[in-house]
Structure 1
Amino acid sequence: MGSLLHVDEVTVVFGGNRALDGAGLRAERGAVTGLIGPNGAGKSTLFDVISGLRKPTTGRVLLDGRDITRLNPSRRAKRGLARTFQRLELFGRLSVRDNLLVAAELGPKRRRAATVVADIIDRLELHAVADATTDTLPTGLARQVEVARAIAARPALLLLDEPAAGQDHTETARFGALLRALADDGTAVLLVEHDMDLVMNVCDEVFVLDLGKVIASGPPSVIRTDETVLAAYLGEV
């Protein structure tokens, strides 16, 4: 369906260190793209650059063919970008339903926010906790709610930073099915994740980052046998 996101030769230097060194990737509409690598490889820094939380030293970020490198996060959100974080970022004193409503109110106005939220609660089977405050939820379930809130904004590009952390096997399997369904609906999903079973089962393409550089990219069948990737990361997982 074509690239929605194109990261072009991005370098980030701070404190004398190169957190990213000419890194590039793409995320296609209607596909799940994985971004993997060892701790400290620069994955979260690259997410920060894509979402506008950090300006690159050099390089560009293009969204739907438009250069968004200098846009702030709120303007990127209006262009259809949504993100989750490694550390849970929910409104702990609000209910699950109200967390979703906050995001839905900021999304496109084609449908009533309450209708969007009701559909997401159905889709993710969150009825039992819809009126519970999110600070009472176990980690795995809270992760699902954070993803649900990102979906409520109806993004074109969804960035997920280790969303399976804290989920059990059943929750992870259900989550993988959700990612595939989102892609089938036309969303571009970019996934940072250490659960290699999830990555290899749901991703259409995987980019591997090590020491700030993309060292390999391709379908999971190629990545799982790439000798450079095995030496840098997969051999240690």
Structure 2
Amino acid sequence: MPLLDVSQVTVAFGGNRALDGVGLQAERGRVTGLIGPNGAGKSTLFDVVSGLRRPATGKVVLDGRDVTRLGPARRSRHGLARTFQRLELFGRLSVRDNLLVAAELGPDRGRAAETADGILERLGLTGIADASADTLPTGVARLVEVGRALAVRPGLLLLDEPAAGQDGEETERFAGLLRSLAADGTAVVLVEHDMGLVMSVCDEVYVLDLGKVIAVGPPEVIRTDETVLAAYLGDA
């Protein structure tokens, strides 16, 4: 059974369908990619999965529970965490305190400091633990946001363009992090425009265009799919 099972989700803004009967599954121990042109509906789908937007039709099942009508806080308690396309750090707090805020709300809140310090070490952020978040370069700030999501120990991690602003070396290290998270049993869903990253780390890729899933498959199939090339990869 997949950890996340989204089925027949539709979201409309006025007369326009941002999502039209979309389905997506994510399994423990795998990285699932979600790609498509700007405006395809990727972030809207993340909003539906995380509880920020209720769909007109469809269902979201998380770890066997129908969470379609649950809000973000209750979904978080069921093991979901996400990052955002637009950075959402607490700018005036230190890197460590950003992680502590989340850790103190997680399942191991009694060991929040230990959790935060462990994540700092894992992400290579110990040396800037006391730096104010609003002083960080974008690529590093996005890594801190990933760390904050990890602080609640999620089973399902939704990442919305986490590699934006990273240089080549940072992206390579980030790819290793994604693989290690999957190896730990986390289900990772990745929205990303860096196709090198997507094709190197994802086990399966969903392609959205105009609110519909137009292809699903492993990277080696997606990169040669004629429909995908016409809609997205060819232009990229």
By the TM > 0.5 criterion, same fold?
yes
Task: Kindly state the Cα deviation for residue 109 of structure 1 after the two structures are TM-superposed.
Answer: 2.2
Q: Any unmatched runs of 5+ in structure 2? A: none
Partner of 1:28: 27
Partner of 2:102: 103
SS of the equivalent of 2:93 reads: coil
Distance 1:73 1:110 in 2: 19
Distance 1:128 1:232 in 2: 43
SS of the equivalent of 1:56 reads: coil
Partner of 1:116: 115
Considering only aligned residues, what root-mean-square deviation do their CA atoms show, in Å?
0.9
Distance 2:130 2:210 in 1: 43
Partner of 1:90: 89
Partner of 2:134: 135
Question: Is 1:175 the counterpart of 2:174 in the alignment?
Answer: yes
Task: Kindly state the Cα deviation for residue 15 of structure 1 after the two structures are TM-superposed.
Answer: 1.4
Aligned-residue identity in percent: 76
Q: Any unmatched runs of 5+ in structure 1? A: none
TM-score, normalisation: structure 2: 0.98
Partner of 1:14: 13
Task: Kindly state the Cα deviation for residue 111 of structure 1 after the two structures are TM-superposed.
Answer: 6.2
Task: Kindly state the Cα deviation for residue 110 of structure 1 after the two structures are TM-superposed.
Answer: 7.6
SS of the equivalent of 1:106 reads: coil
Could you list the structure 1 runs, at least 4 aligned residues long, displaced by more than 6 angstroms after superposition.
Answer: none
Distance 2:209 2:65 in 1: 27
SS of the equivalent of 1:13 reads: strand
Partner of 2:229: 230
Q: How many residues align?
A: 236
User: Retained in 1: the 8 A contact 2:103–2:109?
Assistant: no
Partner of 1:206: 205
Task: Kindly state the Cα deviation for residue 14 of structure 1 after the two structures are TM-superposed.
Answer: 1.5
One-letter amino acid of the structure 1 residue matched with residue 124 of structure 2: E
User: Retained in 1: the 8 A contact 2:104–2:110?
Assistant: no
SS of the equivalent of 2:234 reads: helix
One-letter amino acid of the structure 2 residue matched with residue 129 of structure 1: I
